[in-house]
Structure 1
Amino acid sequence: MADRLQATVDGGGTAVLRQVLTGMGGVGKTQLAADYAHTAWDDGGLDVLVWVTASAQSPVVTGYAQAAIELCRADPDDPEQAARSFLAWLTPKAGQRPCRWLIVLDDVAEPADLIVNPDDPHNRFSLWPPASPYGRTLVTTRRRDAALTGEGRRLVEVGLFTEAEAVAYLTTSLAAHRRDEPADQLTALSRELGYLPLALSQAAAYLIDSGETAAAYRDLLADRVTELTDLAPDALPDEQAVPLAAAWSLSIDRADTLRPVGLARPMLHLAALLDANGIPQEVLTGEAARAHLAAHRTATGPNPTVEPALVSRPDAVRALRALNKLSLIDHTPTTPHHAVRVHQLIQRATRDSLTPRVLDQLGRTAADALLAAWPDIEPDVHLAQSLRANTTALVNHVGEEALFRSAAHQVLYRAGRSMRDVGQVSTARDHFAQLADAAHRYLGPDHIDTFIARHHAATTQGQAGDPAGAVNGLKDVLQDLLKIQSPEHPETLRVRYFLAYWQGQAGNTDASLAAFPMLVDDFKRIFGPRHPDTLTARGDFATTQADAGDVAAALASLVGLLDDMVRVFGPHHPYTLTHRQNVAAIKGQAGDVAGAAAAFVELLDDMVQALGLNHPRTLKVRMNVATGRGLLGDAHAAVAAFTELLDDMLRVLGPDHPDTLATRSKLAIWRDHARGLGR
């Protein structure tokens, strides 16, 4: 099949530039695509290779945007525009050196996902890579829609094994472990497994690990098929579902006998609810996951022994290795953010073995595990992206209602804040708007979580560039909230706070200044003087004073507040780091250039340690440090710092980001100063 694919691609010429591998789940489409991509790269036939998991529109846009950031310095704050830039970059241009590229779109679930904004003629665009004599596109999908053909696209059917191929596969796999089974038994086993490569691989792994004969395995398989047919003949995917589920059932039984005994099954139950394309190991080995393993350990054998109640982290890892050994998952610890991959058919068969009640409870357990693995700050953008993808997969697998039992699960809010923190504020705004709708639907309009989601939706609207819209939205939330809660209820206080803040951002400084003193007093009385919300409100009140022109009063308040922040949180906490940045900036506004410069230098060391050298917030501080060097009289040092910073700004933020433009401007200014000093 690999040879056929190679011949199809090579023989297509410029008329057929897009190959679509189609076939049912488990036949090896992704493996064929990976083989082709590796071969093309290793042969030196490519300059650019991009692999995108295309199970939904969002990961395609994100994958293209990441490529655009790395290849053509696109703006990371606007993923859709970055995706457009990448597609434009792929388009061949007269006079430029040809770029040989291959784009793999793996596991396209809906062909319509490859069209963005289909109903908006002004913003509609296709995610199909452009036609180019130097480029190739390879798609894998279970679909055979007409939308996947035409426009230089060719469908390549990937079918089941033939009987001879299936028997050859089993024979070769067993021979590698010095096993020899009668050909008639392997032929019968292949037939009973429907010649599905995925089911055959599980059967081979079981035979090798257990030492059972093919005849004995067939007897076990027949019992399981009968049971599953009686229980759920139509619930499993594809015509191969029953033999696959039967093979899965035998494999999971075997995995449960491996040490640590009884943990493989509850581990697979958890993994079946998350992202098939990659689950961070910490999610499946953290405290929440280990509590689930301990509570649901499988009793095995005729006289199962009582195992210790607690499950250690090494035992959780060993449970993953047991599943990997039986080909139920792929466990690659060297890629911790995507350490566990599970075929979607195995996930589906696993979920279909659970009752609705168990599935519902397990969904909240998986949400707990994701939330526990999510850091307060996100220096690792790849981990954050994986956690967001796993949250989306969880909602898709268990249904959003499962995460709204009596209250909205906090992982839903955390995913939205993560989108906001990496600059995807428009996506975060839409996420919170959908979350507010869901809370209204499942919890009712007066539930506190509905109000929390609404106020997040309004504040992210402001962060997306619409402060006036944020003010209007927060006024509506406050009006409705006051009908059922007092002005001093914690959520009412927070909405009042955000309203005051966004009034200031929208230009209504008088309203903001009038609201903040009473707010700060209420926060102190209700939450206490050391609560994070109290300290944040004090800080924003001071910066509003500075914006209004009272820099001296603002600086006095901020310096006093900084002492409280350090006492309560320590010097390296995110709250403290943000506040230290505000203090340094206002010191400069007040005319203390040396003090501001020293504060920014000290802050930079801590920011690098906490967030890394190229985090957007660290880049901002580096800009202030470079400015300070120039203002203190060392123009040449300022030029050197801004030159280095500009390279990092272009790579991380892109050429059109406001901070990049400001850095370019400041570099030009300090180069002028340096030249003047040399004359």
Structure 2
Amino acid sequence: MYLRQKLAGTPWLMDGADDLASDLGYLPLALAQAAAFLLDRELTCAEYRVRFADERRRLADLVPESSALPDEYQYTIAVTWSISIELADRLRPAGLARPLLEVASLLEPNGMPLEIFAAPSLAAYLADRRGGRHGRPSRDDILDALHALHRLSLANFDRDARMIRVHSLVQRAVREATPTTRQPSSATAAADALLATWPAFDVDWSRVQASQGCAVVLRAVARRWLEPAHPVLFRAAHSIGTTGQASKAVEFLTALLELDDEAPIDAGDALALCVNLGYWSGRSEEDVDGAAHSVRICEIFADECLQALGQDDVRTLAAKNNLAHWKGRAGDVGGAIELLTRLSQEAAGTVAADPGLALTVDANLAFWRGVSAGFGNVADTLELQLRRCLQRVGSDDAIAQVICGNLAYAQALAGNPARAVELAEALVSVRTRLLSPDHLDTLKIRTFQAEWRGWSGDAHGARRAFERLLSDYRRIKGTDDHDALEVAAYLAIWEAATGDLEGAIHRLEQVVDRQQPTGTVGYALAVATDNLASLKSRAPHAARGDRDIRDECADGWRMATAQIGRLAAGQHLTPAPPTIACGPDEVQYGALYAFAHAFHSRAIEYSTYGMAIDGLRWGNLTMALADVLAEDVRRKAQAFAEAQWRPLGPVSIALTNRRVLLKIGSEWSSWFLAHLVSMEPMDDNWSLTLYFEGTSAVMLTGPYVPWLTAAISTLVFATTWPNGYAPPSPNGVPNPLGDDWLDLKTLRHFTF
């Protein structure tokens, strides 16, 4: 409004006025002097914004000469704040306000955690700035200095939120006024304090987000003064990536590698950044294509580290570890095991300098061996690893927690669920203490613990544990939250196992009814729908309600027959609203759910699903998930290596003109239609087997599989139904309840 009033006589200068006012934070002083400058130079607001955004220009270059200053503001921005800073620095405790503001000028203007200013390293820096005459300032001294800045409107001290805020224009004026000889020490002090006070775990999201913002601003404004590979930058990239922002982690690391000639970067530091960049590049993709792409990146970086740093350098070993991780994620499990086996011997020599790296490599090796041969077969190895890890780094270390979780899972599959419950209980205790009882990571391991308690023969104990879990999830995330619905679906299984068949049916009906209005066919709904049908078939007297499984199958059958008729008449598949990230020219045609199996033999290697916990220098630590949890645990370990169809569990499915995507757990995997060799509908068309070149076959079963069969056949083979098989008849729907695929599902996916 102010700019529009001042520029009313020159409307051609008002282009971008609202954006400029926002850039200036609506400060009257800044707006008045900007308006005077625009009129004096006949610049549009948009043109002024370009100059203002250029950090190489000083604020003095963006205001009128003293003779042209507006009457109500006879001092420039820089001079006005310089006077205020001088006054604040003279207030008791003298000599603290200016250096504190210089540090704050390098961090996120909209919120810096108060803890940064209480860091011991910052207190040491402040003592040095005062010449050591007054000793190291106390916490109260620093709080008083921050309050002085607040009194003079140079900062906002929000005690309730425990945040310090400084207007971006004040920050810029302070940076310009800081002598060049002092800028590197201020930047290092800010970085050291930020690193020292970074939340150990990403629990307090507002503080984590503020810390990430501080690192981003620090990287941008102090790039010429700060060491390019300062540890806080690695910590920031790790935090950004592990909070679900892998693409932003890639952007952050890429920007570090694009520093100009004024801030040269050491070759070794550049390679350390590249190691992390390669890891997060793969994490930023959602399917095996992203893993394969990351393999290529990591191969390049590993070779460069080897040539520049040598075989024994920690960064070289880290690059190889990341390469092995992405080989496994891309399906080359054998290659991952071979590389990690060699790497384990090489990393053994780094134990004294970096014990975490050797433990990480050994943990990853055990994980991929478990994927290859069955986790039940690596339990003894993991027991030894856990003892070694506890001796070196203690139970609170992230690596120790991962190994403990993997060992619990392996013991469950090896037929020792009691040991699995014991390990899970220890892990729950650690996470409750380090995170909180309500943290999602704590709740997830409690889910495993409840499941394994049932496996050990204590069905009533499992039921009580799931009842407590469900109460906690509903309190924390709400009744209709996806995780709460999923736990409710699992609770129903143990209600049925303890004889409460009608209670289990009622609970599953609630899950289906609450999930259905969202329009998504998620994992909880898939499990609940299948199990509801099975329980109703076992208890006909309890089979009441509007969503009988026969009705759903009839809907799917009608959809398939109607689509076949439209396609036969020359119409095309109808695009659907996308539920996944599609590539260029990729079109999604549907989203559904089914129960999936994949065929594996000893000669076929496959990938599982996991999460990564990153170290600051070496990349990742993979944590095993329950890829397949079988009803008969005692048979699982022996049967795992046999050639067989292995259940993947209920899955969400997306179909595009290029891919069939299955979401198992929390991750999507792609089967490319260009590699489809043949397809075989079976069992009265409720099941479909897809055979692909170069990867395992996949079998899908469910109410909407007939529709999927017609759609894939049209996309790949230009026929409305696979040749040699009878298409669905519109005259009748086969009875699905006589088939085994609707039996009670106790196969499911959890994540630690």
* TM-score, normalised via structure 2 length: 0.55
The aligned residue for residue 234 of structure 1 is 61
Q: What amino acid sits opposite 1:532 in the alignment?
A: G
Which one has a larger percent helix, Structure 1 or Structure 2? Answer: 1
Kindly tell me: are residues 324 and 355 of structure 1, through their superposed partners in 2, closer, same or farther at Cα, counting changes over 3 Å? same
Deviations 1:162-214 (CA, angstroms, capped at 9, x unpaired)? xxxxxxxxxxxxxxxxxxxxxxxxxxxxxx99799xxxxxxxxxxxxxxxxxx
- Deviation at 1:402? 2.9
Contact 2:418 2:453 (8 Å CA) reproduced: no
2:348 paired residue among 509, 518, 524: 524
Matches within 5 A, 1:22-61: none
Residue 449, structure 1, aligned to residue 275, structure 2: no
Aligned match for 1:314, one of 131, 135, 140:
140
Task: Give, in angstroms, the shift of residue 380 of structure 1.
Answer: 1.8
Q: Distance in 2 between matches of 1:421 and 1:512?
A: 23
Alignment of 1:433-448 (within 5 A): 433-438=254-259, 442-443=263-264, 447-448=267-268
- Check 1:266–1:479 CA distance in 2 against 1; reply closer, same or farther (3 A cut): same
Matched, 1:333 2:159: yes
Pair 1:481 & 2:301 matched: no
- Structure 1 677/427 Cα, relative in aligned 2: closer, same or farther at 3 Å? same
Q: Percent identity?
A: 29
Name the CA shift for 1:374/1:22 in 2 (closer, same or farther; >3 Å): farther
Offset, 1:593? 0.9
Tell me the SS of whatever aligns to 1:591.
Answer: coil
CA-CA distance at 1:534 after TM superposition: 0.7
The residue aligned with 2:116 is 283
Partner of 2:248: 427
Query: Is residue 2:228 matched to residue 1:402?
Result: no
Q: Residue 85 of structure 2 aligns with which residue?
A: 252
Q: Which residue among 417, 437, 440 is the counterpart of 2:238?
A: 417
Specify the alignment match of 1:670 in structure 2: 494
Counting only pairs closer than 5 Å after superposition, residues 485-564 of structure 1 correspond to structure 2 as 485-528=309-352, 531-549=355-373, 551=375, 554-564=378-388
Mapped contact 1:235–1:352 kept (Cα < 8 A): no
The reply on whether 1:292 has 2:125 as its aligned counterpart is: yes
CA distance in 2, matches of 1:436, 1:195: 37
CA distance in 2, matches of 1:385, 1:453: 22
Distance 1:608 1:284 in 2: 28
Aligned partners of 2:212 and 2:236 also within 8 Å? yes
The amino acid across from 2:276 in the alignment is H
> Is 1:461–2:275 an aligned residue pair?
no
- Alignment partner of 2:308: what SS? coil
Amino acid at match of 1:372: A
Partner AA of 2:445 in structure 1 = V
* TM superposition shift of 1:605: 1.8
TM (norm. structure 1) is 0.60
Contact 1:436–1:457 (CA<8 Å) still a contact in 2? no
Indicate how the Cα distance of structure 1 residues 662 and 493 shifts in structure 2: closer, same or farther if over 3 A, else same.
Answer: farther
Instruction: Specify whether residues 554 and 656 from structure 1 end up closer, same or farther in structure 2 by C-alpha distance, changes over 3 A only.
Output: farther
Match of 1:572? 396
Determine the C-alpha separation between the residues in 2 that align with 1:660 and 1:546.
30
CA contact (8 A) 2:119 2:197 kept: yes
Q: Provide closer, same or farther for how the CA distance between residues 577 and 594 of structure 1 changes in structure 2, counting only shifts above 3 A.
A: same
Structure 1 residue 636 displacement after superposition: 4.9
- Unpaired runs of 5+ in structure 1? 1-20, 25-110, 113-138, 146-156, 162-191, 197-230, 299-305
Whole-angstrom CA distance in 2 between matches of 1:272 and 1:530: 35
Q: Deviations over 1:98-128 (max 9, x none)?
A: xxxxxxxxxxxxx99xxxxxxxxxxxxxxxx
Size of the alignment, in residue pairs?
459
For 1:620 and 1:267, the matched residues in 2 are separated by 42
Q: Partners in 2 of 1:493 and 1:324 — Cα distance?
A: 49
In 2, are the aligned partners of 1:194 and 1:243 still within 8 Å (CA)?
no
Q: 1:158 to 1:423 in 2, by over 3 A?
A: closer
1:641-677 CA-to-partner distances (Å, cap 9, x unmatched) read 4455457668978999997786455334334334457
Contact (CA 8 Å) 1:381, 1:422: kept in 2 or not? no
Aligned equivalent of 2:605: none
Counterpart residue type for residue 309 of structure 1: G
Distance in 2 (CA, whole Å) between partners of 1:505 and 1:158 is: 50
Contact map agreement 1:454 1:477 (CA 8 A) in 2: yes
| Matched-pair contact (CA < 8 Å) for 2:107–2:217 | yes
Compute the displacement of 1:278 (Å). Answer: 1.4
CA contact (8 A) 2:106 2:187 kept: yes
Task: Flag the 1:472–1:656 CA change in 2: closer, same or farther, 3 A.
Answer: farther
Q: Do the aligned residues in 2 keep the contact of 1:23 with 1:159 (CA within 8 Å)?
A: no
- What is the Cα deviation at residue 373 of structure 1? 1.3
Measured in 1, the distance between the counterparts of 2:231 and 2:326 equals 24
Which amino acid counterpart does residue 234 of structure 1 have in structure 2? Answer: D
Output aligned runs, 1:200-215, within 5 Å. Answer: none
Residue 601 in 1 paired to residue 421 in 2?
Answer: no
Counterpart Cα distance in 2 of 1:297 and 1:377 = 34
For residues 56-82 of structure 1, the C-alpha deviation after alignment (integer angstroms, 9 at most, x for no partner) is xxxxxxxxxxxxxxxxxxxxxxxxxxx
Residue type matched to 1:447 in 2?
A
Residues 565-610 of structure 1 show CA distances to partners (whole Å, capped at 9, x for unaligned) of 2122222232222221111111112111111012212221221111
CA offset at residue 558 of structure 1? 1.2
Deviation at 1:427, TM superposition (A): 2.1
1:307 is aligned with what amino acid?
R
Residue 640 of structure 2 is matched in structure 1 by none
1:508 to 1:441, Cα distance in 2 relative to 1, 3 A: farther
Q: Matched residues in 2 for 1:560 and 1:283: separation?
A: 40
Instruction: Kindly provide the CA deviation profile for residues 466-495 of structure 1, in whole angstroms up to 9, marking residues without a partner as x.
Output: 222221111111222333232222211111
SS of alignment partner, residue 310 of structure 1:
coil
CA 1:368–1:143: 2 relative to 1, 3 Å: same
Distance 2:237 2:130 in 1: 34
Match for 1:383: what amino acid? R
User: AA paired with 2:94?
Assistant: V
- Rounded Cα–Cα distance in structure 2 between residues aligned with 1:565 and 1:595: 18
Q: Distance in 1 between matches of 2:85 and 2:469?
A: 53
Distance 2:386 2:449 in 1: 20
Structure 1 residue 634 displacement after superposition = 4.3
Q: Distance in 2 between matches of 1:439 and 1:585?
A: 49
CA distance in 2 between counterparts of 1:468 and 1:658 reads 31
* Equivalent pair of 1:520/1:538 in contact (CA under 8 Å): yes
Classify 1:527/1:569 alpha carbon distance in 2 versus 1 (closer, same or farther; 3 Å).
closer
> Match of 2:150?
324
**Secondary structure at the residue paired with 1:348?**
helix
CA-based RMSD: 3.8
Q: CA 1:599–1:349 in 2, change beyond 3 Å: closer, same or farther?
A: same
Aligned residue in 2 for 1:363 = 187
SS of 1:234's equivalent in the other structure is helix
Query: 2:509 aligns to what?
Result: none
**Equivalent-residue separation in structure 2 for 1:603 and 1:159 (angstroms):** 52
Structure 1 segment 73-84 matched on structure 2, within 5 A: none
Is the CA contact 2:317–2:347 (under 8 Å) kept in the aligned structure 1? yes
Aligned match for 1:388, one of 194, 199, 212: 212
Greater shift in the superposed pair: 562-571 or 668-677: 668-677
SS at match of 2:404: helix
